[in-house]
Amino acid sequence: MGVYLSDIEREIKVIEKRLGEPITFKDKSIFDGWDRIVEKVGKEKAIAFSTGIAIPMKPIYLEATLLYPEWIDIYLEYQTESAIATIKEAVKHGADFILGGGDLATTKGPVYNPSIFIDASAGIKLKELRGRYGHRAVLAGNVDCAKTLVSGTKEDIEKEVIECIRDAGKGGGLILTSSNSIHIMSLPEIFSIC
C-alpha cells in the first residue's frame, strides 16, 4: 500500500492544528543519558546536543514540495517549533551548544534540486534573494565552501565575505556562513583571517 498526496494532506491538517501549541515531552527518559554524561564530564567537556529540521526524503514529499509548497511550509513550521522546544529542554539538561541540520541527499546524490538552496555555485545570489524577499526571510550563506574556502586565497575569501555583507547584510537578517559545511582543508585559511 503506497502513500498518496491525500495521506500527506491529512497529516498536514493534523500538524496545522498543533502549530503554536506548547510542545511537551511526555517521556523525558531520552534525556537520562545526557544527564549521566553531564554529571560525569560536564565540568571538563562541552556537551553538544543535536537536533534538526528536514523534509522526509520520500517521493511523495518531493511531489508535495512541488505541487503544494504551502503544506511543506506548515510541515517545516512545526518542525521548527519542535526543534526549538527540544533545544530548550536540552539546555535544561546541560547542553552547552546545539548542532543542527537536516539531510538533503542520499549516497546517490541530492534529493532536492540544489538550485533551491542558497549556494552561489548553484547560481543563487544573496542580492537577488534579498530583493525578492526583503527582510521577511533570514538568509544564511553564501561563502563558497567547495571552491573559495578550499582553494581560494585569503583575499578571495575576504572579497566573498564583503560581497555577501554588501548584498544582503544591510538592515540585518543575514547569517554570514559558508554555503554548506566547512571542509577541513579550509580551516587554516579561515583561522588566519579571524
Question: What does the domain layout of the chain look like in residue ranges?
Answer: 1-106, 113-194
Angle at 182 between CA 179 and CA 185, to 5 degrees: 130
d(CA 2, CA 7): 10
pLDDT at 194: 46
Prior bond of 142 cis (ω within 30°):
yes
pLDDT at 185: 53
pLDDT tens, residue order, the chain (194 aa): 567 899 999 999 999 999 999 998 888 887 888 888 888 888 888 877 778 788 888 888 888 888 898 999 999 999 989 988 988 998 998 888 777 777 777 777 777 666 555 667 767 788 888 888 888 777 887 888 878 888 889 899 999 999 999 999 999 988 888 887 666 554 454 445 54
pLDDT at 38: 86
What is the 3 state secondary structure string of 7-52?
HHHHHHHHHHHHCCCCCCCCCHHHHHHHHHHHHHHCCCCCCEEEEE
The pTM score is 0.58
C-alpha cell at 71: 503544506
d(CA 59, CA 3): 9
pLDDT at 8: 93
Pairing between strand 139-143 and 174-178? parallel
pLDDT at 18: 94
